[in-house]
Structures are given as C-alpha cells and as structure tokens.
Structure 1
Amino acid sequence: MPRNALLTQDELDFIQSMQHNPQLNLHEASSSLTVNGGAQIRDLLTRLAAHDQVTIQAQFDNQQLTFPLHLVEDEFNAVHLRLGVPSIFEDGPMIRPWRMALEEPVALENVRGTPGALWVHEVSFKGVLVEIRGRIKPPRTFSLWFSPSGYERIALRGTLERETARGLFAYRLSQTDGGETERLRQFILHQHRLMHPHVHA
C-alpha cells in the first residue's frame, strides 16, 4: 500500500464487509422501492403520490396487505417513492381490518402507567375489542395507553361502537397523531409476521 494512503488495508476490508452485509442493509431494502417501468410510469406514480394517496395491494389466502406509497427526499434533494407500513385486511362477507387476538388480554393504562378496567382482547389498526373489569359502565370514549409486553406503549383513542355477543365491547380507534397510528401498524405487522412467517419470508 502506498505510504500516503488514507486507509489501511484492514480499514478498507472492514468498510467493504459493512457495505456488503445484508443485515445492515435490510431496513433500507425493505422500505425503499425502485420503479423500473419507464420514465412515464415513474412520473405518473410520483405525481399521484404527491397529490393523493397511492397504494400497492398484495393478496394471499383470505388476506390483503395494502402498502401506502410516500414521496421522500434524500440528502441530494432527489425524490424517491418509499413503501409505508401496510394495512392488513381480511376477506369475508365484507373486507375488514385484520384483528389480532392477543394470547393474554392487556390492560389499557393511564398516562402514569397504571392499568385500568379496560382489557384489550383483540386489536386492529382501526379498532379494539375490550373486556370491562369491575363494576363500571363502558365509557363512551377513552384516551389511554396500550402497552403490550416487549413493545413501547402506544396512545389509543377509542369511541364505543357496540357490545358483542361475547360481552366484549368494540371501540373504533381514531388517531390524531400519525406517529401513534404508524407505531400501532408496526406492532400489528410484527405480530402478523410471527403468525404468518411464510408470507413474510
């Protein structure tokens, strides 16, 4: 190696091994999208994504995943299309958000982390199915925290929709903070990946 070289051979080898490490590039590969359909299709998708919501839909078995497309600008001011976290739906008499049944119910918590009387049995990105413990009437609305084991807690706001035949209460979720909705979708996607590994492999 020449005497005035900036990096040693060991340093170069290390950088090249990091560059070709598939684990380090996993996040970028899963979140970015390359459109090879020609300039016209790419321009059309970019214009649509800039003005309205554009999605890509994948179907398997009785479920469908709908991925939103977002425009992002990189450090060189180039605009790219990026896939967002999908919404998962299940087919049936009517298409509805996929509801994940929790192994054990999780109590919704107040801002201080104290568990309350509402216990989540099932969750989707649009709603929750809860059990009311104690002698209280189901609240018309709630603004509480969902803290599944091993995950950062997620703020939920719910409005009572109906009581089910099993004595549980269905609440429709409304999120004012897009970050909380995204975190709930991430949690549901992670659980879906665990339950359907063949789809995500």
Structure 2
Amino acid sequence: MHRDTLLTQDELDFIQDMQHNPQLNLRDAWSSLTVNGGAQIRDLLTRLAAHDQVTIQAQFDNQQLTFPLRLVEDEFHAVHLRLGVPSIFEDGPMIRPWRLALETPVALENVKGYPSALWVHEVSFKGVLIEVRGRAKPPKTFSLWFSPSGYERIALRGALERETARGLFAYRLSQSDADEIERLRQFILHQHRLVHPNVHA
C-alpha cells in the first residue's frame, strides 16, 4: 500500500464485512416505520404518541405482539415515529406475557458474577419462574443479574408472588428500571424469533 493510505486492506475488508452483515442492522430495520396513509394520519399518530402511549398490535395463532410507537428526534431535530421492542403475549383462559422456557436453567448472579441459589427456568418481560437450590429459602425480593449464554448481563429485581405446584417460585419483575426491562424484551424477542421463525420470516 502507498505510504499515504489511511487504512490497510484488512481494515477495509473488515469495514465492508460490517456493512454487509445483516445482523448489525437488525434493531434499526425492526424499528423503522413508514406511514403511507397521508399527512393527516401521520400528524394524528404523532400527536397521539406525543401525549399518550400508542401501540400497534399484531395477532397470530394464539399469540399477540404489541409494539409501542415512540417519537424520536434525529440529529437534525426532526421528529420521527419509531416502533419499540414489542411485548409478546399468549392467549388462553387469560392473556399473559409469553414465557420463554429455558433449555437449561440459568443461575442468577450477584454483582461480582457469582451464581446465587436462584435458577431461572422461565422468563417473560413481567416475571420469572425460579428454582431455589440448596437449603436456601425463597427470598421475598431479589436484585440480581440474569446472564444467559451469549448475551450481556441484565439486571433484574423481583418480588415473590407464589409457589407453583411444581415447587418453583414465581417472581414479578420490577418495571422501574426501563432500560433493563427493554434489554430483557430484546432478549425475549430474539428468542421468540428462534422458537417461531415462521412469524419473523
């Protein structure tokens, strides 16, 4: 290469690989929204989203996805509508958040990354189903980290709701930390794609 070249060929190849990697732009592609219904509908949706929670709901089989519609401001101070990460529900005798059953339970960890006696069997954006190992009693509340393999840790805070017939403990998750719950929703959405690829194709 010439002496005045800023990047090596390997660096250029890496940048080109990144541009053509479909996984890198998943979130942007998922959240982009074009409203073709005309200016009146776009203005109405924008006004509603500015003052209240607006959602778009999709239903298939026995499940429904509810997408929050948010206003975001770009670097040019223009306001756009954007879809947020959906809440996934399943129908039945009562509508409840879709639960991801983990293939193998995952231990909740303390801040230093050491496993606790609490092991997650199922997770939704509203709660977790926990096995308590050892001689520990189920705590009334917990504040620990959920570290599924291949994902960044997610801080969870839960309050004990009840014991199930299987001897597991249902905990309701605190919704006060919106960023962590949003990250949990993203994890659940990614897993939902793997479990139901026909829906996300």
TM-score by length of 1: 0.87
Following superposition, the deviation at residue 75 of structure 1 comes to 1.7
Q: In the alignment, does 2:187 pair up with 1:178?
A: no
State the partner residue of 1:45: 45
Q: Distance in 1 between matches of 2:27 and 2:135?
A: 47
Q: Distance in 2 between matches of 1:116 and 1:32?
A: 39
Name the structure 1 match of 2:149: 149
Structure 1, unmatched stretches of 5+, are 1-16
Checking the alignment, whether the CA contact within 8 Å between 1:156 and 1:175 is kept in structure 2 is: no
Q: What residue is the counterpart of 2:122 in the other structure?
A: 122
CA-to-partner distance for each residue in 1:14-59, whole Å, 9 max, x for gaps? xxx99x9693765433211111111111111101101111000000
Q: Deviations over 1:129-185 (max 9, x none)?
A: 000001121100000000000000100000000000000000000032211011000
One-letter identity of the residue aligned with 1:129: L
| CA–CA distance in structure 2, aligned partners of residues 187 and 118 of structure 1 | 20
Q: CA RMSD in A?
A: 1.9
After superposition, residues 72-111 of structure 1 pair within 5 angstroms as 72-111=72-111
Structure 1 vs Structure 2: percent identity of aligned residues? 85
Q: 1:97 to 1:22 in 2, by over 3 A?
A: same
SS in 2 for 1:134: coil
Q: CA deviation at 1:193?
A: 0.2
What is the one-letter code of the residue matched to 1:169? F
Paired letter, 2:156: L
Separation (CA, whole Å) in 2 of partners of 1:111 and 1:158:
15
Q: Output the CA distance in 2 between the equivalents of 1:129 and 1:63.
A: 20
> What TM-score comes out, normalization by structure 2 length?
0.87
Larger Rg: 1
Q: 1:27 to 1:146 in 2, by over 3 A?
A: closer
Partner of 2:161: 161
- Where 2:182 maps in the other structure, the secondary structure is helix
